[in-house]
Structure 1
Amino acid sequence: MAHLFMLGKIALTQGVNKLVNGDHSLLHPFLMLHVKGQWGDLSEDDKQANDEALNQTGGRLLSAYNLPQGKIWIVTEADRSSSTVLLPSEY
């Protein structure tokens, strides 16, 4: 499946960096799921909102994934200029 959008500049929060113990390669599979529209552990309403943002409204995109170490969120801004990987507690 092709990428549906660009991530832009990718930023990691301190909490995520600590969660993966500085091994950013652990995040790559989740970033790839995100750009393919596989939104992870979200409600059906949130997944639908992402699909609408992607195809109609141009809004922010949110994904949630469970790593063995804990949960992460990936947020891509509406203009697709940047994406942030963060812990839910850092939102």
Structure 2
Amino acid sequence: MNLPSIHHTGPRFKLGRILATPGALEVIAEARISIVDLLIRHLRGDWGELSDSDRQQNEQAIVAGQRIVSGYVLAGGRTVLLITEADRYATTFLLPGEY
């Protein structure tokens, strides 16, 4: 059972540069979803479809300055990951197979 994410109204960490793989951009475009909406979810602590332990890891990562990962299942059933690096230099959209 997945516990609901703790949603915040403001940003919880810095995103850094926004990057995306061609595969992730294609899946997002096919799902007709805004890349900005996914960024906002990630930034506010809506980690998407992750296990409870991964959610807990993200909460600790915000404080400890570690890598933060979100996973979103889009229309059509494809999953896109967002990864914010530990140094907060960049946040990257990618497919699970590209991780």
User: Does the pair score TM above 0.5?
Assistant: yes
Taking the aligned partners of 2:29 and 2:43, their CA distance within structure 1 comes to 24
User: What's the Cα RMSD here?
Assistant: 1.9
Structure 1 stretches of 5 or more lacking a match? none
Count of aligned pairs: 90
Deviation of 1:10 (Å): 0.6
> Which of the residues 63, 66, 69 maps onto 2:73?
66
Deviation of 1:20 (Å): 3.0
Taking the aligned partners of 2:29 and 2:59, their CA distance within structure 1 comes to 32
Q: Which has the higher strand share?
A: 1
With over 3 angstroms needed to count, the CA separation of the structure-2 counterparts of 1:66 and 1:25, relative to structure 1, is closer
Structure 2 stretches of 5 or more lacking a match? 1-8
2:36 alignment counterpart: 28
After TM superposition, which residue ranges in structure 1, 4 or more long, deviate above 3 angstroms? Answer: none
**TM-score normalized with structure 1 length:** 0.89
Taking the aligned partners of 1:71 and 1:59, their CA distance within structure 2 comes to 22
Deviation of 1:50 (Å): 0.5
- Give aligned-pair identity as a percent: 37
Deviation of 1:25 (Å): 6.5
**TM-score normalized with structure 2 length:** 0.82
